């Protein structure tokens, strides 16, 4: 017997069921965590990770830890590819859960930012093939995490980009570097100084995303096609090539770890930034944009 978890919504409440499935008939392996649903198709050996933390899949400490740990498990299982998407069509993630930034406790800020960086690095550095199916808005942290994937497809009529400057925050330099890798230095400079959120079409024209799809289902099947297209590429050579093309960014990010964490703690932990964050949260709640 194989044990799986099935999550369903009944009358608005999330219900978790433990399923017992005979191994012979199983086509899905399922080992979801609290905030991230995971299923691995036994036939294709591809995993789908769905962020599932209402209301907006905010990236709090728990989500980041779960995500990192699930990726490690998928590496051990040697899946053929990982597709990252949202369980809620319309929002990939609202980025950092702003509640995590509403503190001047330096130890908490340091812990959060270390985890945030480590999770990004895990995704950026994984030898696994990764495809982001961006099936909704993807501001700030959402954009950043999708840039860590090998390929990005996005559904129409949503926004993606680094909007931190609009909020009065400064995005980390490695986010800017990663976006510049994809859209070029000049466009990244314009985007981050303006805190620009791009529409799906704009993001596609710039190269921030690779393809546009009509809906999540098309996104998932496109992602599977991309993963399949690597089937005849020697695995070891692909993994080493991925590592080589990413090595320079990685070395810089790791070299700058202490400075980056110090900047984050000082920037977010200052009274001035705390006021800005508080005002932004109020705007968000009253939808005054």
Nearer to ligand L52RLTOW, 140 or 153 (CB): 140
Draw the binding track, 219-258, toward ligand L52RLTOW (x: CB under 6 A; -: no contact): ----------------------------------------
Nearer to ligand L52RLTOW, 132 or 144 (CB): 144
CB of 97 to ligand L52RLTOW, least distance (A): 5
Which neighbouring-strand residues pair with 282?
none
The answer to whether residue 195 forms part of the interface with ligand L52RLTOW (CB under 6 A) is no
The answer to whether residue 140 forms part of the interface with ligand L52RLTOW (CB under 6 A) is yes
How far, in whole angstroms, is CA 175 from its chain's centroid?
13
- Dist CA 21 CA 7 (whole Å): 15
Q: Give the residue carrying structure tokens 């040697």.
A: 78
- Dist CA 6 CA 31 (whole Å): 9
Nearer to ligand L52RLTOW, 150 or 164 (CB): 164
Among 91, 179, 191, 227, binds ligand L52RLTOW (CB under 6 A): 91
The answer to whether residue 174 forms part of the interface with ligand L52RLTOW (CB under 6 A) is no
Terminal CA-CA length for the chain = 52
Nearer to ligand L52RLTOW, 128 or 176 (CB): 176
Tell me the site size for ligand L52RLTOW, rule CB under 6 A: 28
Q: Where are the beta strands (DSSP E) in 159-254?
A: 159-161, 197-199, 211-213
CA angle 265, 191, 125 (to 5 degrees): 60
What part of residues 15-54 is at the interface with ligand L52RLTOW (CB under 6 A)?
none
The answer to whether residue 81 forms part of the interface with ligand L52RLTOW (CB under 6 A) is no
CA 219 → CA 116, 125, 155, 213, 277, distances in Å? 26, 23, 7, 6, 34
Produce one character per residue of 55-68: b if its CB has 16 or more CB atoms within 10 Å, e if not: ebbbbbeebbbbbb
**Three-state DSSP class for 30?**
strand
The answer to whether residue 169 forms part of the interface with ligand L52RLTOW (CB under 6 A) is yes
CB of 273 to ligand L52RLTOW, least distance (A): 8
Task: Show Cβ contacts of residue 193 under 8 Å, excluding neighbours closer than 6 positions.
Answer: 165
The answer to whether residue 56 forms part of the interface with ligand L52RLTOW (CB under 6 A) is yes
Query: Which positions lie near ligand L52RLTOW, rule CB under 6 A?
Result: 55-56, 58, 91, 94-99, 137, 139-141, 144, 163-164, 169-172, 175, 263-264, 267-268, 284-285
């Amino acid at each position: 017997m194989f044990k799986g978890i099935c999550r369903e919504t009944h009358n608005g409440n999330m219900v978790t069921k433990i399923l017992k499935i005979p191994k012979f008939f199983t086509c899905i392996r399922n080992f979801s965590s609290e905030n991230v649903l995971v299923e691995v198709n036994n036939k294709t050996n591809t995993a789908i990770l769905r962020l599932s933390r209402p209301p907006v899949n905010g990236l709090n400490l728990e989500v980041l830890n779960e995500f990192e740990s699930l990726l490690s498990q998928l590496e051990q299982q040697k899946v053929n590819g990982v597709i990252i998407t949202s369980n809620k069509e319309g929002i990939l993630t609202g980025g950092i859960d702003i509640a995590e930034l509403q503190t001047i406790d330096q130890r908490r800020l340091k812990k959060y930012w270390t985890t945030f960086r480590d999770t990004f690095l895990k995704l950026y550095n994984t030898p696994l093939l990764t495809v982001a199916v961006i099936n909704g808005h993807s501001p700030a942290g959402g954009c950043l995490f999708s840039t860590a994937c090998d390929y990005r497809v996005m559904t129409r009529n949503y926004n993606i980009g680094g909007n931190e400057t609009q909020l009065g925050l400064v995005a980390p330099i490695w986010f800017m570097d990663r976006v510049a890798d994809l859209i070029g230095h000049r466009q990244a400079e314009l985007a981050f100084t303006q805190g620009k959120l791009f529409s799906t079409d704009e993001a596609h024209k710039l190269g921030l995303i690779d393809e546009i799809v009509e809906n999540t289902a098309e996104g998932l099947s496109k992602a599977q096609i991309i993963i399949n297209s690597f089937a005849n590429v020697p695995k070891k050579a692909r993994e080493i090539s991925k590592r080589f093309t990413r090595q320079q960014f990685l070395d810089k990010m790791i070299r700058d770890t202490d400075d980056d964490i110090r900047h984050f703690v000082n920037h977010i932990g200052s009274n001035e930034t705390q006021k800005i964050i508080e005002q932004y949260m109020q705007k968000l709640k009253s939808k005054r944009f």
